[in-house]
Amino acid sequence: MTTMAERTRTTSGAPGGTRTLTLGKAVNEGLRAAMRRDDKVMLMGEDIGPLGGVFRVTDGLQAEFGEQRVVDTPLAESGIVGTAVGLAMRGYRPVCEIQFDGFVFPAFNQITTQLAKMHNRTRGAVELPVVIRIPYGGGIGAVEHHSESPEALFAHTAGLRVVSPSTPQDAYTMIQEAIACPDPVLFFEPKGRYWAKGEVDLDAEIGSSTLDAARVVRAGTDVTLVAYGPSVETALKTADALAQEGRSAEVIDLRAVSPMDTATVVTSVRRTGRCVVVHEAPVFFGAGAEIAARVTEECFYALEAPVLRVGGFHTPYPVAKHEHDYLPSVDRVLDAVDRAFAH
């Protein structure tokens, strides 16, 4: 079997150079590059063919690669993932699109009892290189079941990788690394950031470096802000506001919720002495709780204040006109930083 390193040693195969792309278009280009590189890569999902998906992330791919590799499926998420499991067992590398975050739950059983466990169940004999793309998070004024953040449910399940890009460059590289990975990957795409633009190096070498590794996106000395996906931009705006107050915030983009790169976070907190975690998902039993626990264990004697969390509330996601009261804002993060400095 071709190893991940062998699959990702070459560059994308897409037109080279640097282009300004939206995050959604960067995912599209990453999918295109992976499909050009490996004819075992195929896409499956509802309305992903001629329509190009609800968010047009798969736009143009069926025209280029055909109906056998970009498959419009029935409206049946459990069937999509179940079929992907069988295809992966036969040597394919299926990429499934779930239209919206709240639609993933009909496939929850297939993901957590089959996809996550088959490798262990067969004592390593069977690999399931399946990617499940999930547009997630709020900020687009959508109706019920269209703005949820269920990443913690899957991160709690052993055998699954759970990742989320925050920039077009990461979207481009990480989707290719996820497809090349021998493990099942839940690829959470921040839908509120689909139209955010950034420079993308289409010649970037595709390896495994960005799939699991957190990155320091802004250096600082006084407090560490940890975020991922859509909340990274909120953390960066908070850091700008803190700079005007004379406080220096270090911002870390976690990238992966599972496995979690706590070493990068711990190194930062040992220097700054304070940590605030930001995510859109509810704070209660969220990813921030795991980060807070690990930081407290590793940095207890370096901490100047408790690790604080800012996120959604322990309620169903609200109607569109109230979502901005629910989502973590710069003001709410600033309040948490003020509380951290009050200790």
pLDDT in tens, 147-202: 999 999 999 999 999 999 999 999 999 999 999 999 999 999 999 999 999 999 99
Buried b (16+ CB within 10 A) or exposed e, 90-123: eebbbbbbbbbbbbbbebbebbbebbbbbbeeee
- Domain 215-342 class? alpha beta
Per-residue confidence (pLDDT) for residue 208, from 0 to 100:
65
Q: Where in the chain is the domain with CATH 3.40.50.970?
A: 21-210
| DSSP string across 64-124 | HH-TTTEEEPPS-HHHHHHHHHHHHHTT-EEEEE-SSGGGSGGGHHIIIIIITTHHHHTTT
Any catalytic annotation for residue 119? no
Residue 267 CB partners (closer than 8 Å, separation 6+): none
Residue 56 CB partners (closer than 8 Å, separation 6+): 24, 28
Options 3.40.50.360, 3.40.470.10, 3.40.50.970, 3.40.50.2020; CATH of 21-210: 3.40.50.970
Across the chain, mean pLDDT equals 94
Per-residue confidence (pLDDT) for residue 14, from 0 to 100:
47
Query: Is the model's pLDDT at 2 over the cut of 90?
Result: no
pLDDT digits (tens, 9 = 90+) for 201-215: 999 888 766 798 999
Per-residue confidence (pLDDT) for residue 166, from 0 to 100:
97
Per-residue confidence (pLDDT) for residue 207, from 0 to 100:
78
pLDDT bin (cut points 50, 70, 90) of residue 4 is very low
E strand residue ranges, the chain? 18-22, 41-45, 70-72, 93-97, 131-136, 161-163, 185-190, 197-201, 215-218, 223-227, 249-253, 256-258, 275-282, 308-312
Query: Is the model's pLDDT at 69 over the cut of 60?
Result: yes
Mean pLDDT of 211-231: 97
Per-residue confidence (pLDDT) for residue 274, from 0 to 100:
98
Q: Where in the chain is the domain with CATH 3.40.50.920?
A: 215-342
Measured at the CA of 200, the angle between CA 194 and CA 202, to 5 degrees, comes to: 120
% of the chain at pLDDT higher than 70: 95
Per-residue confidence (pLDDT) for residue 210, from 0 to 100:
78
Buried b (16+ CB within 10 A) or exposed e, 185-194: bbbbbbbbbb
Mean pLDDT of 316-324: 93
Active-site entry in 119, 145, 146, 314? 146
Dihedral of the CA atoms 308, 286, 334, 316 (nearest 10)? -140
| Cα(114)–Cα(38) distance, integer angstroms | 25
pLDDT digits (tens, 9 = 90+) for 75-129: 999 999 999 999 999 999 999 999 999 999 999 999 999 999 999 999 999 999 9
Of 342, 331, 343, 336, give the one whose Cα is nearest residue 224. Answer: 336
